[in-house]
Structure formats: structure tokens, C-alpha cells
Structure 1
């Protein structure tokens, strides 16, 4: 196959299932509002990665060769957004408010375009699992489908996990430590992508 489907599927599942900015956002949203209320946000997060995959597949990375400063700027702006998100997580509490409204589809849609881990994951898919002569549409559609399938399966699990955690620790002395831990994992995932050259 022009795209190493089996290998990439394993890679995609491992990356989508591990802690990162998107999964931390899903976990916290599930903890704050519950899985059912968070489903539009989950759908937005899952589809938001498509906004990265298709432009990269159709040559966006060629632009990086001619204007590297643009991509460097975008990388640091994205990192800044995720760090701001981590700060909000650190200061958030899980005591749910029945009047509060969960973030919706459009809020979820921008999570991955501003997520350095997502960019690294998609670029790795094209560079490490795709043969050079693969037709552009075939490669892009295959990578897009595999990542979407992984997200549809795994993102709700993270969100539901947050709901279950909230039932255990909300209002207890462990709540503050949990939120700071989640924020710390979010920051660590961004720093690893920025300075470690990894994809997780």
C-alpha cells in the first residue's frame, strides 16, 4: 500500500490516546459538564483536525520552505494559546453549575488547529508512513480517515473519564491537585513538541 495503513493506525491510536492539549481539554470539559453535554465539543475537536490534515496533504508544508518565519510564528502563537488554556485548567474547579453551558462545536473546532501536538502528528503521518509516489488525494484521505476513526473512538473516552473523575474528587481536597496536574501535563506536552522534536 502507498500508505502504511496498519502501522499508521497503531501510531494514530497511540498518539490520540495519550495526554496532550486536546485530551486535557476533553477531560476537563467532561469533568465540568458531563459527557452528554460535552458531545458537541467532542465532535468539534474530532473534526477540527481535518482542518490541518487536508491543507498539509495538498501542499501547505511547501509554504514552510519559502516563508519559514510564518510557521515559526504560528507555532509559538499556538503554544501560547495552549499555555493559556493550561492556566485556565489549573484554576478551574469541578463543582458543576447546572446553569453553566458547556462549550459547543465551534469551540472544539479550533482546539486542534491551535495544538502543536496535532500538527506534529499529522506531519509525521505524511513523512513517515506515506510512500513518496502516493497520489495526494489518496494519502490525505487515508490519513484523514484513520485519524478521524481514532478520535471518534478515543475522544469520548477521555471526556467520560473526566466525568467519572469529577464524581470522585469534586469538592474534595484532591481537586486542586488534580487540576494542577492536568495543567502540568498540558504544558509538558507542548514543551515536548516544541523542544523535544517528538509527536506525543
Structure 2
């Protein structure tokens, strides 16, 4: 097969379902604002990955190979932005049921994956590891895009709902601040793992 679709689906599920900057943001948003209020943000996060997949499929990585320093700058700028978000999470205090209009919306979610090093790594790994040389660009990109979309539609809401449930369990209790610092720490750790120790995973 030109595209190892079944194998990539397993790989994609393992990546989308494990802790990373996006899932930590979803968990924290669900915890802070509740599952329903966070849904526009979830939709933005899901669709935002398409903003990375299609340019990569149509040659962004080829361009990056010609100007490698620019890609490195973008990678570390993205990591810095997500670490800044983690700092904000660390200082949040949970407020289940807070008004929906206060929650981050679709546009806020849309930028999460374009600024997420793990998303870039898994997408590049998808094209380089599961697509045969010579596969038509549209066919390869569509397959990668659909596989990741399916995984996100299933797994991203689960992370958000988990945050909502955690918030109801610890909000207003002594362990609340430790939870938020833990979420922030996991976010930073996931970014550092991708940048320095995780290869394409």
C-alpha cells in the first residue's frame, strides 16, 4: 500500500491520546470552565491541526530543509509560547460552572496545534514513516489528515471531560493549587521531551 493507514491510525491514537501540550491545555480548560463551555475551544484545537497537516503535506518541510534555521526558530518560539500558557495554568484556580463567555473560544483553540511542537513532530513522522515514496501528495495528505481528525474527535473531548470531572473533585480544596502546578509541569515536560528527548514521538 502507498499509505499504511491502519498502522498510522494506531500511531496517531497513541500520540493524540497521550499527554502533550494540547491535551494539557484541554484538560486545564475543561477543569477551569467545564466541559460544555470548553467545547468551542475543543473544536478549534481539533481543526487547528489541519493548519499544520496540509502545508506540511504540500512541501513546508521541503522549504524548511532549505532554510533550517528558520524552522528551528519557529520550533523554539512555539515551545516558549506553550510554556507561557503553562505558567498561566499554574496560577489558575478552578471555577467549575464559570460563565461560558469567559472560556477560551474556537479561535484560541485554533492556534494550539500550529504552536505545538508535538503536533509538528507527529505529522512529520506520519509523512516520513507511513507514506511510501511516490504517493500522490493529495492522497497522502488526505489520509494523514483524516486519521488524525478521527483520533482527535474521539480523544480530545475525553481529555476535556476529564478536566471537568477533576475540577469538581478538587475545586476549593487544598490540593487544587498542586493540581494546577502539576498540569503546568506536565505541559512543560511534554514540550521539553519533544524538543530534546522524544525524537519524532
Q: TM-score if structure 2 supplies the norm length?
A: 0.97
Gaps of 5+ in 1: none
Aligned positions of 1:6-85 closer than 5 A: 6-85=6-85
Aligned positions of 1:185-200 closer than 5 A: 185-200=186-201
Determine the structure 2 residue equivalent to 1:132: 133
Aligned positions of 1:86-165 closer than 5 A: 86-96=86-96, 98-99=98-99, 101-165=102-166
Structure-2 separation of matches of 1:98 and 1:118: 30
How far the C-alpha of 1:133 sits from its partner, in A, is 1.4
Structure-2 separation of matches of 1:83 and 1:98: 25
Show CA shifts across 1:111-142 (max 9, x none).
00000000000000000011011110000000
Question: Does the CA contact (< 8 Å) of 1:27 and 1:160 recur in 2?
Answer: yes
Question: Does the CA contact (< 8 Å) of 2:34 and 2:98 recur in 1?
Answer: no
Structure-1 separation of matches of 2:5 and 2:139: 12
Question: Does the CA contact (< 8 Å) of 2:131 and 2:140 recur in 1?
Answer: yes
Question: Does the CA contact (< 8 Å) of 2:78 and 2:117 recur in 1?
Answer: yes
How far the C-alpha of 1:97 sits from its partner, in A, is 6.4
Q: TM-score if structure 1 supplies the norm length?
A: 0.97
Question: Does the CA contact (< 8 Å) of 1:15 and 1:199 recur in 2?
Answer: no
Gaps of 5+ in 2: none
Question: Does the CA contact (< 8 Å) of 2:96 and 2:164 recur in 1?
Answer: no
Determine the structure 2 residue equivalent to 1:171: 172
Which runs of structure 1 show a deviation greater than 2 angstroms over 4 or more consecutive aligned residues?
95-100, 197-200
